[in-house]
Homo-oligomer: A and B are copies of this chain.
Amino acid sequence: MDQRISFLSLAVRDLEASRRFYVEGLGWTPDLEVEGDVVMIMVGEHVVLSLWDREHFQAEVGTIAEGDGVPPFTISHNVATEAEVDEVLATARAAGAEPVHEAQPREWGGYTGYFADPDGYRWEIATNPGPIGHKVLP
């Protein structure tokens, strides 16, 4: 099995609300849309972020676990400078993200903050001064 991922698919409760957040709020461009079902956005050279209507998701994947708390994953978006981290968090807030946690220095040397998308999925906006941090910047 090659060491790569092709799609990250998020189950979303309100596809239109998710579309508004990512497309109108963050300014991203969909590559493929199926009304009421899915919105697919290229987020890497060979990587797609797929916003998948929750009912369609459950019909194929299974009933989703419920409960209070945060989802068991985060998506990070890395940038080159601390000022850019703050700018992206401001963009997310303007797009309606709630909550937005202001960035802070981390013990491993980065500067990171989080925002939640309309389903509460956590995005970390980050600088990372280490070697792997350089590998993820285009």
- By a beta-carbon cutoff of 8 Å, the part of chain A in contact with chain B is 1-11, 26-29, 31-32, 40-49, 54, 57, 61-79, 88, 91-92, 114, 119, 121-122, 124, 126, 130-132, 135-138
> In the complex, what residues of B have CB within 8 A of residue A26's CB?
1, 3
Classify the secondary structure of A's interface with B.
mixed
B2, B68, B136: the one within 8 Å of A77 (CB): B2
Q: B74 contacts A71, CB within 8 Å?
A: no
Give this chain's copy count: 2
Q: B71 contacts A7, CB within 8 Å?
A: no
Of the listed residues A3, A26, A45, A119, the one surrounded by the most CB atoms of chain B closer than 10 A to its CB is A3
| CA distance in complex: A61, B119 (Å) | 15
